[in-house]
């Protein structure tokens, strides 16, 4: 049952010149060409960072994915699956095979392997850097498929063009941002497309493909729980609003069974697929859809009176077992302290949860709620078009358009909780804006096209408009008009119908339509200009290399991070352990190739709290903690000399909070003066004596004579002090990374001290 591809609604080809099938062929070729161009645009708009800086992997998490991909390409899939990494979380190690989402690394590894099989010798780093732009082209094409299933080809092309450029998606998929979202957003949109396609056609083939696409999504990102909760919500909505059909059953039931099995196959998820609350909604709706199917079957075979007696029978007698089952289930869920949800999901449902119970989740900057301007920055013009799109989805309401509206509403809620989830909102916003823009263009161009016409051509116009709209009711009413005319043979009735159709077609006068089209095009150009600016200026920074403008207009490059990692790589022993705050763990293992204590995976809060406590303690206690962890080198990030604001002193409050959460002798008020963290002369003695202060500001007063911290904008409190347990081994060019070595424990006790003891 083909809902079919419709011709683009902007009047392709002069009607008199080209026949119907010719029009369709021309439309297909044009659409294919446009899709190619959209793919190229999606790829090239993400290349700003490669042009402005170099082809380098950005930020922190991508370095871990890069290291895993390198291991996969070197050692093969079986070694990768069973890999136990002892270079991180010393002395605990990390089971990589069981705790990583393998989709991204396996995708990039496969691409590298295929290219090498064709003797195209691209390095693993190049493949990793360019994975995200390639998959954003695929995501744009998937958006085209999804939107054309909902509303037709014109809407599909518009939505694809919007998604190729939307800044929110660009921010997580520039060339070099080798992170899970790069492939996960493509998998998300593609899974939704296959679900809507199955819903529209009722074909089991697409249901199988849907389950396989969902499997790819589970492999790629932890956000797959969004899919497995959104689709049951939509099925429930359809059942409750009376839209149950066998296509709905075919779209949902195989997905639940196959999807659960496939999700359980991925080691990261494992048995969580059947035991955590994130998946309970799918099972609950699975039961509900079977009840609804049975009810429909019985309704079909019984007479209405018997059906009502059956319903009353079931309600009086049959409610006890389900009630008992629900009571048991509720008791089991209530028994667990988090009601079966994981910490991350709970922090999404209750935005205040993380700040109360899990400081680590609350400390990540991506997990903060977004500000209002960030909506305008990230989805720009789409913020205005989305409400229009919602209205367009209701005219008429079909299963697929209700799904898209539900997707938008839920993603708007989640994007309000965490700024990182603006990314999930972006495809929904693009789909609905594409629908809105396409419908607006359709109305305006139709008004211009059918300005002054005779009756017969009006009826012809009504026919062609009816094939352009994707509604059955319009066709039925058109057929009605045609049937009525010869049957009744009364001119008056036909005239009345024609007048009604004329009123419906010619909504607007010609000048208003022309101005409207012009304004829409201008709005589109504002969007394009903003997206290109956002891609070039705001989202292309690799954050491992910084640049700034010199007063004479040149470019000054701060490459301190790589300088420090290269120093560590060349000047320390192979098995030396390096301690730092967890932000830099992935980069240290990937670039410096040294064992670290904690890294960005943050799976062990106590271990991180140990490092945080060490950074907050006085020198001797910190040395003892690090000595117990076999640490040889400690490094801190310091931005005071150049004004780099994301340094460890600014992150210090989290070290205190996380450390204090586990070790009660670290009390946050000890470090605060009037409720603020200070490092100037007003700072508390605990603050001035802690390791972080000492390691950051050791010999800092010698650098500029006054010890003026450019980030905190004040002179430091304690300027001249010695380090007794650490020695400075390396400071980078702009003092951004400062590496210290632990002094070995003393061999001899000093003679003075021993004399005092014996006397």
Interface residues with other proteins (CB under 8 A)? Answer: 1, 202-205, 207-208, 211-212, 245-247, 249-250, 253-254, 257-258, 260-262, 264-265, 271, 274, 293, 298, 300-303, 306, 309-310, 313
> Closer CB to other proteins, residue 257 or residue 395?
257
> From start to end of 17-147, where are the E strands?
84-85, 94-95
Nearest residue (CB) to other proteins, 313 versus 394: 313
Which is nearer to other proteins, 56 or 253 (by Cβ)?
A: 253
Percent of the chain that is helix, strand, coil (3-state, to 5): 65, 5, 30
Question: Could you tell me if 92 and 629 are in contact, meaning their C-beta atoms sit under 8 angstroms apart?
Answer: no
Nearer to other proteins among residue 244 and residue 708 (C-beta): 244
Q: How far is the CB of 24 from other proteins (least distance, A)?
A: 21
Q: How far apart are CA 538 and CA 540, in angstroms?
A: 6
* Residue reference for tokens 């800092």: 700
d(CA 453, CA 462): 12
Question: Are the C-beta atoms of residues 386 and 456 closer than 8 Å to each other?
Answer: no
Q: Distances from the Cα of 674 to the Cαs of 59, 569, 677, 682, in angstroms?
A: 35, 43, 8, 10
CB of 379 to other proteins, least distance (A): 37
Helix residue ranges per DSSP H, 418-559: 422-449, 455-468, 472-488, 491-505, 510-533
CB of 321 to other proteins, least distance (A): 14
Supply the angle between the helices 422-449 and 180-201 in degrees, to the nearest 10. 50
Smallest gap from Cβ 110 to other proteins, in A, equals 19
Q: Are 68 and 100 in contact (CB under 8 A)?
A: yes
Q: Tell me which residue of 409, 417, 286 sits closest to 347, measured CA to CA.
A: 417
Structure token pair of residue 611:
């490092």
For other proteins, the closer of residues 208 and 714 by Cβ is: 208
Residue 441 Cα distances to 48, 452, 453, 486, 502, angstroms: 32, 19, 20, 35, 18
Residue 123, both tokens: 């390095």
CB of 609 to other proteins, least distance (A): 33
Residue 329: partners with Cβ closer than 8 Å, 6 or more residues away: none
In the complex, least distance from residue 662 CB atom to other proteins, rounded to whole angstroms? 33
CB 11 within 8 A of CB 467: no
Handedness of CA 519, 522, 526, 528 (dihedral sign): positive
Cβ 581 to other proteins shortest distance, Å: 39
Q: Is the dihedral of CA 114, 115, 116, 122 positive or negative?
A: negative
Cα 502 vs. chain centroid, distance in angstroms?
46
Question: Which CB sits closer to other proteins, 262 or 598?
Answer: 262
Quote the CA–CA distance of 130 and 133 in Å, as a whole number.
6
Look up residue 587 and give its two tokens. 């980069």
Smallest gap, in angstroms, from Cβ of residue 254 to other proteins?
6
Toward other proteins, which CB reaches closer, 246 or 733?
Answer: 246
Cβ closest to other proteins, residue 310 vs residue 723:
310
Nearer to other proteins, 187 or 430 (CB): 187
Residue 92 or 302 with smaller CB distance to other proteins:
302
Of the pair 5, 296, the CB lying nearest other proteins is at: 296
Note if the bond before 80 is cis, omega within 30 degrees. no
Helices 491-505 and 472-488 pack at an angle, to 10 degrees, of 160
Burial (0-12, 13-18, 19+ Cβ within 10 Å), 759: exposed
d(C-alpha 710, C-alpha 704), whole Å: 11
In terms of CB distance, is 239 or 592 closer to other proteins?
239
| For other proteins, the closer CB: 283 or 721 | 283
Q: How near is the Cβ of 309 to other proteins at its closest, in Å? A: 5
Q: How far is the CB of 227 from other proteins (least distance, A)?
A: 18
In the complex, the smallest distance separating the C-beta of residue 302 from other proteins, rounded to whole angstroms, is 6
What is the greatest pairwise CA distance in the chain?
A: 129
Question: Which of 217, 541 has the CB closer to other proteins?
Answer: 217
d(CA 207, CA 721): 69
Nearest approach, Cβ of residue 228 and other proteins (Å) = 15
Closer residue to other proteins (CB): 212 or 536: 212
Q: At closest approach, how far in Å is the CB of 97 from other proteins? A: 15
Q: How far apart (Å, rounded) are the C-alpha atoms in residues 132 and 258?
A: 28
* Chain position carrying tokens 């002054």: 452
**Distance between CA atoms of residues 515 and 524, nearest Å:** 14
| Nearest distance, CB of residue 238 and other proteins, angstroms | 14
**Shortest Cβ 213–other proteins spacing (Å):** 12
Closest CA to 536 of 165, 179, 136, 39: 165
Distance CA 261, CA 273 (A): 8
Rounded Cα–Cα distance for residues 57 and 72 (Å) = 17
């Amino acid at each position: 049952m083909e809902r079919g591809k419709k011709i683009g609604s902007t009047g392709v080809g002069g009607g008199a010149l080209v026949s119907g099938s010719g029009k369709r062929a021309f439309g297909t070729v044009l659409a294919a060409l446009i899709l190619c161009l959209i793919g190229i645009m999606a790829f090239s708009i993400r290349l700003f960072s490669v042009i402005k800086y170099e082809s380098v992997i950005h930020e922190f998490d991508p370095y871990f994915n890069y290291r895993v991909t390198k291991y996969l390409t070197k050692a093969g899939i079986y070694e990768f699956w069973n890999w136990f990494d002892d270079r991180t979380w010393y002395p605990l190690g990390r089971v990589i095979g069981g705790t990583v989402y393998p989709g991204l690394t396996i995708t990039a590894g496969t691409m590298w392997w295929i290219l090498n099989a064709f003797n195209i010798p691209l390095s693993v780093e190049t493949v990793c850097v360019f994975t995200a732009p390639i998959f954003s082209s695929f995501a744009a094409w998937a958006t085209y498929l999804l939107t054309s299933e909902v509303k037709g080809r014109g809407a599909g092309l518009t939505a694809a063009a919007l998604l190729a450029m939307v800044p929110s998606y660009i921010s997580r998929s520039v060339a070099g941002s080798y992170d899970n979202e790069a492939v996960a957003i493509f998998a998300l949109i593609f899974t939704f497309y296959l679900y809507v396609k199955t819903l529209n056609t009722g074909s089991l083939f697409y249901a199988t493909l849907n389950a396989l696409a969902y499997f790819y999504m589970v492999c790629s990102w932890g956000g797959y729980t969004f899919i497995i909760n959104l689709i049951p919500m939509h099925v429930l909505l359809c059942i409750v609003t009376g839209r149950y059909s066998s296509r709905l059953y075919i779209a949902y039931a195989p997905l639940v069974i196959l999807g659960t099995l496939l999700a359980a196959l991925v080691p990261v998820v494992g048995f969580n697929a059947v035991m955590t609350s994130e998946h309970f909604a799918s099972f609950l709706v699975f039961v509900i859809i079977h009840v609804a199917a049975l009810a429909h079957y019985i309704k079909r075979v019984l007479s209405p009176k018997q059906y009502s007696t059956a319903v009353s029978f079931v309600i009086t007698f049959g409610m006890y077992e389900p009630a008992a089952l629900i009571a048991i289930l509720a008791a089991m869920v209530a028994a667990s302290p988090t009601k079966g949800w994981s910490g991350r999901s709970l922090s999404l449902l209750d935005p205040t949860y993380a700040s109360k119970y899990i400081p680590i989740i609350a400390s990540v900057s991506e997990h903060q709620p977004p500000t209002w301007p960030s909506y305008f920055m990230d989805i720009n013009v789409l913020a205005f078009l989305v409400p229009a799109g919602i209205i367009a989805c209701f005219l008429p309401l079909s299963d697929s358009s209700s799904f898209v509206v539900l997707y938008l509403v839920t993603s708007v809620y989640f994007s309000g909780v965490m700024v990182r989830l603006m990314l999930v909102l972006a495809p929904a916003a693009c789909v609905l804006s594409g629908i809105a823009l396409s419908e607006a263009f359709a109305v305006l161009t139709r008004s211009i096209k059918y300005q002054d016409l005779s009756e017969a051509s009006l009826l012809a116009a009504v026919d062609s408009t009816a094939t352009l709209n994707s509604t059955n009711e319009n066709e039925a009413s058109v057929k009605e008009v045609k049937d009525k005319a010869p049957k009744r043979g009364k001119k008056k009735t036909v005239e009345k119908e024609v007048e009604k159709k004329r009123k419906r077609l010619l909504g607007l006068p010609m000048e208003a339509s022309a101005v409207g089209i012009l304004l829409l095009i201008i709005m589109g150009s504002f969007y394009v200009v903003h997206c290109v600016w956002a891609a070039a200026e705001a989202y292309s920074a690799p954050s491992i290399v910084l640049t700034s403008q010199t007063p004479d207009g040149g470019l000054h490059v701060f490459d301190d991070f790589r300088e420090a990692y290269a120093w560590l790589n060349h000047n320390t022993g192979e098995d030396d352990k390096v301690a730092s705050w967890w932000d830099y763990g992935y980069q240290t293992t990937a670039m410096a190739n040294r064992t670290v204590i904690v890294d960005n995976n943050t799976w062990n809060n106590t271990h991180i709290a140990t490092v945080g406590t060490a950074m907050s303690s006085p020198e001797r206690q910190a040395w003892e903690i690090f000595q117990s962890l076999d640490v040889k080198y400690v490094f801190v990030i310091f931005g005071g000399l150049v004004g780099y604001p994301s340094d460890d002193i600014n992150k210090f409050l989290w070290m205190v909070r996380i450390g204090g959460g586990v070790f009660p002798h670290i009390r946050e008020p000890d470090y605060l003066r009037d409720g603020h963290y200070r490092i100037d002369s007003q700072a508390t003695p605990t603050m001035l004596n802690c390791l972080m202060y000492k390691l950051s500001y050791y010999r800092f007063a010698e650098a500029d004579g006054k010890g003026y911290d450019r980030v905190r904008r004040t002179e430091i409190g304690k300027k001249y002090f010695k380090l007794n347990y650490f020695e400075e081994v390396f400071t980078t060019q702009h003092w951004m990374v400062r590496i210290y070595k632990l002094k070995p424990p003393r061999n001899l006790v000093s003679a003075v001290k021993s004399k005092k003891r014996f006397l």
